């Protein structure tokens, strides 16, 4: 009861402040990847792992800016000059599953997001999916703000490769083959998609502050009685590093407009069909690159 009373008092005392509230929140994003868990890495040296990790750094560590008011927001990646961009098919693949600018309208429930998928620009329209948040008993200080914990279970799009993890069934089958001394064709190139699996659902942990009484947060996340300052989703942590309240000059909050307009369901279908096409091309070409839009 104490934690709910604290939240209620904070929200009640800040209602008048919320009417004209606006600001910019900067989030540092970090994603962890266990290179030892993917593929056959027995012959991969520490230097090779270090080189791969350095090349992936631009994809795994990013800064985002959420420009918000009481009802609307625009969430964008801060553009930086990358000295070591991840290139090749892997870089293109992962980049294609990273959303572009995301607009949310809390009043209408509308969400619009720009996505570039294998060289084609799409404007994805959707509704805000508010999760069934469960308030916890914990609180902590994040900067100058008191933040409260909330958790929720999120269903995962089976084509969302940002949620990929090592395929446990594959590792178990390989171990069984080794124990049974089953010989395999060493010249056969394994389908990279068989090395990973997408979980059906994941737990999301958010830390929000009623001291900034907007029901918003980074990316697609919203629905809590205060701005989300920290978010833990699968292997990614987003931590708010700076907040500028009621800035004199800030980006105008507008929905993005570039790309072919499609619904979320239509976009998921496009991604699924393209992924299957890439897999077929990979198998038919013996592992060589092939296929385009």
Q: Give the residue-averaged pLDDT of 144-169.
A: 82
pLDDT > 90: percent of the chain: 46
pLDDT > 70: percent of the chain: 65
> Around 239, how many Cα atoms within 13 Å sit in the side-chain half-sphere?
8
What is the pTM (predicted TM-score) of this model?
0.76
Q: Which residue in 180, 18, 160, 174 sits closest to 93, CA to CA?
A: 160
Q: Give the residue-averaged pLDDT of 241-253.
A: 88
Distance CA 233, CA 75 (A): 17
pLDDT at 277: 87
pLDDT at 56: 64
Q: Give the residue-averaged pLDDT of 248-255.
A: 86
Q: Which residue in 41, 35, 78 sits closest to 174, CA to CA?
A: 41
Q: Which residues have CB under 8 Å from 176's CB, separation 6+?
A: none
Given a cut of 80, whether residue 180 has pLDDT beyond it is: no
Given a cut of 80, whether residue 35 has pLDDT beyond it is: no
pLDDT tier for residue 30 given thresholds of 50, 70 and 90: very high
Given a cut of 70, whether residue 187 has pLDDT beyond it is: no
Q: Give the residue-averaged pLDDT of 90-115.
A: 81
pLDDT at 238: 97
pLDDT tier for residue 85 given thresholds of 50, 70 and 90: low
For 192-223, write each residue's pLDDT tens digit: 556 668 888 999 999 999 999 999 999 999 99
Q: Which one is predicted more confidently, 161 or 158?
A: 158
* 3-state SS, one letter per residue, for the chain: CHHHHHHHHHHHHCHHHHCCCEEEEEEEEEECCCHHHCCCCCCCCHHHHHHHHHHHHHHHEEEEEEEEECCEEEEEECCCCCCCCCCHHHHHHHHCCCCCCEEEECCCCEEEEEEEECCEEEEEEEECCCCCCEEEEEEEEECCEEEEEEEEEEECCCCCHHHCEECHHHHHHHHHHHHCCCCCCCCCCCCHHHHEECCCEEEEEEEEECCCCCCCCCCCCCCCCCEEEEEEECCEEEEEEEEEECCCCCCCCCCCCCCEEEEHHHHHHHHHHHHHHHHHHHHHCCCCCCCCC
């Amino acid at each position: 009861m104490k934690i709910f009373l604290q939240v209620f008092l904070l929200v009640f005392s800040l209602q008048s402040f919320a009417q004209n509230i606006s600001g910019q929140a900067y989030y540092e994003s970090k994603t962890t990847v266990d290179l030892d868990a993917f593929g056959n890495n027995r012959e991969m040296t520490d230097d090779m792992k270090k080189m791969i990790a350095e090349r992936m750094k631009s994809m795994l560590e990013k800064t985002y800016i959420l420009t918000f008011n009481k009802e609307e927001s625009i969430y964008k990646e801060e553009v930086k000059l990358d000295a070591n961009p991840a290139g090749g098919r892997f870089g293109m693949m992962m980049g294609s599953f990273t959303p572009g600018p995301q607009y949310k309208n809390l009043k209408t429930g509308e969400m619009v997001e720009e996505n570039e998928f294998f060289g084609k620009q799409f404007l994805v329209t959707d509704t805000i999916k508010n999760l069934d948040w469960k308030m916890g008993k914990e609180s902590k200080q994040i900067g100058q703000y008191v933040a409260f914990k909330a958790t929720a279970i999120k269903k995962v799009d089976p084509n969302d490769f940002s949620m990929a993890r090592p395929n446990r069934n594959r590792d178990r089958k390989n171990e069984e083959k080794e124990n049974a001394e089953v010989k395999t064709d060493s010249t056969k190139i394994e389908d990279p998609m068989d090395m990973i699996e997408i979980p059906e659902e994941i737990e999301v942990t958010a830390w929000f502050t009623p001291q900034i009484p907007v029901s918003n947060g980074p990316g697609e996340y919203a629905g809590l009685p205060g701005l989300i300052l920290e978010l833990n989703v699968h292997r990614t942590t987003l931590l708010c590093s700076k907040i500028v309240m009621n800035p004199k000059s800030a980006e105008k909050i507008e929905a993005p407009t570039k790309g072919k307009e499609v619904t979320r369901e239509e976009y998921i279908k496009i991604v699924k069909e393209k992924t299957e096409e890439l897999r077929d091309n990979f198998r038919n070409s013996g592992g060589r690159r092939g296929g385009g839009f």
